[in-house]
Structure 1
């Protein structure tokens, strides 16, 4: 990665290090949003004060990926002025705008009027009957355990295409808002990263450090060249790496 760099290039400047961490964070978030595929994604929002007594809002999303697996991701830590509804709403809207997430994805799909709702329910009832019959005839579903296993098997056998309303119902049951340990882990990590000795750390650097640490499995799968290219494009550099 550094084959074109001079031997004395150590990348120890604080500004350089912040840019590298930010480049990694942007690519991690981009990978998460790509995996989301503009699908339904409920969010969990919680707030906590850091060591500088600043109000921080953590945001976690969870969704069902293309393989039918439930995925839970920490996407950001946002500084807010206070914990009022207006301040939280402003922070959420700003975050969604930054990452190109849609409000409709959070709300789910609505129906115009009771007539459309009745039609959808009739279709769902018909699909459920056919799906139950089809599933009983398929040995691959005989040992399915739990709703998560059902979703994964539906994708593996492509029944999520044949029975889209049934699969939507399964997905909704998997992503209903529940308590999550990811948020508590994020706040615990925040207190380690921004300690009493590092209480002047900026909000952006704190967020970048948290995302790269918590979502390190996503980080590990991102090519180094992608991060280096983003780092190079952030501003003019004296040398290209």
Structure 2
């Protein structure tokens, strides 16, 4: 008798466990359908909501119409949604925004991890959105662990005014929120005429006005450092547009550029570059060792047949990491990434505002700042967001707060 009761109990437990497992799988599938649509709409900068989303509407607008396509081709999803409790369909505007925020938070976390302890530059610009709010776009420029130069959009911040002090406070707050060390800043620039000075960045490395660097004669768009133009008119233009410090920085840094190094590897210029512009990044001992390391670099690396194929400083950075020379010549590689960290263009911040015009249109001018910011993170950094699995988004969504149905 006892054995029969035990067997019945175990059978009942298996039925309950099976039901729970099946229900959880269904709940996750239902939520993944919503996540899939949110991601698609955000990637394409398409509006989520419409004027009339009622069941009787012939056009329930993009989210619900997209959901209709998914359920038309996936009968299991359609069945699950149909049977779901009315208070747990996970398709409401609030849920859509929560999913979008999960994506955005994961993108920022990935960027923060990519930066790591690297030195970085802050690039900011301001513009008014469709509702005439002043927005500040923040972009980080840095070299990642594989030697690639990255410029990552890190968010849009609403500011009450564009005074330097206001911008500085908001940037400090952002850095603190993501545990980014102010001491790692190696440049902070604003597209406006005045420079934006953050902490002691102006003492650590030169701050160059982005308006000046846009002429491209000193730095081109792919990170290749070149000597100023050879003609008299080009030299006059450079002298007019750049201050003396910027001109000296460009001249000394050009010694690192592969094509220049092949002509004449100017060791004295590189030692002077460290002394004049990066004293905080090299100890006294480093400076003593640097000249010897540069000598070995000239004879062992610059003469490498593969080195002769390199066309830019960014290519050199990647090649040094790929070949392991970034470890053998640490001081040289440190110089390379510090120079590459300098801002050379306003293109990324300008693209952010172009994206803002696509997302916050005249018909969507009441978008909240958080919704706008999260939408832009996915649209601009979709190469990162696209790497996240739907299941990982479900798990993070579940952890935001207590949910009505189980997802694990």
TM-score (norm. length: structure 1):
0.91
Q: 2:141, 2:343 within 8 Å by CA — same for their partners in 1?
A: no
Query: Secondary structure in 2 aligned to 1:236?
Result: coil
Which structure's relative contact order is higher, taking Cα pairs within 8 Å and 6+ residues apart? 1
What is the Cα deviation at residue 189 of structure 1? 1.2
Q: Distance in 1 between matches of 2:158 and 2:116?
A: 27
Bigger Rg, structure 1 or 2: 2
Q: Distance in 1 between matches of 2:171 and 2:357?
A: 22
Query: Secondary structure in 2 aligned to 1:3?
Result: helix
Q: Distance in 2 between matches of 1:118 and 1:144?
A: 31
Q: Distance in 2 between matches of 1:160 and 1:131?
A: 11
Count of residues paired in the alignment: 238
Query: Secondary structure in 2 aligned to 1:227?
Result: helix
Task: Give unpaired runs (5+ residues) of structure 2.
Answer: 1-23, 31-79, 187-200, 205-274
Q: Distance in 2 between matches of 1:151 and 1:192?
A: 35
- CA deviations 1:79-123 (Å, max 9, x no partner) are 111101121011101111122211011147969x99x76543332
Aligned to 1:39: 118
Query: Secondary structure in 1 aligned to 2:155?
Result: strand
Alpha-carbon RMSD:
2.2
Query: Secondary structure in 2 aligned to 1:42?
Result: strand
Q: 1:4, 1:240 within 8 Å by CA — same for their partners in 2?
A: no
Aligned to 1:214: 380
Aligned to 1:135: 301
Query: Secondary structure in 1 aligned to 2:156?
Result: strand
Q: Which of 85, 89, 95 lines up with 1:16 in the alignment?
A: 95
- CA deviations 1:162-216 (Å, max 9, x no partner) are 1111001111121212223111111111112111211111111100000000000
Q: Which of 25, 38, 42 lines up with 1:3 in the alignment?
A: 25
Q: 1:64, 1:171 within 8 Å by CA — same for their partners in 2?
A: yes
Q: Distance in 2 between matches of 1:118 and 1:41?
A: 23
Q: In the alignment, does 2:176 pair up with 1:94?
A: no
Aligned to 2:347: 181
- Matched ranges for 1:1-241 at <5 A: 3-5=25-27, 7-8=80-81, 10-107=89-186, 118-241=284-407
Q: Distance in 2 between matches of 1:194 and 1:188?
A: 10
More displaced 10-residue stretch of structure 1: 221-230 or 77-86: 221-230
What is the Cα deviation at residue 137 of structure 1? 4.5
Task: Give unpaired runs (5+ residues) of structure 1.
Answer: none
Query: Secondary structure in 1 aligned to 2:26?
Result: coil
Q: Distance in 2 between matches of 1:100 and 1:61?
A: 14
- CA deviations 1:10-63 (Å, max 9, x no partner) are 532111001000000011111111111220110101111111111111001111
Query: Secondary structure in 1 aligned to 2:154?
Result: strand
Q: 1:189, 1:210 within 8 Å by CA — same for their partners in 2?
A: yes
More displaced 10-residue stretch of structure 1: 135-144 or 228-237: 135-144
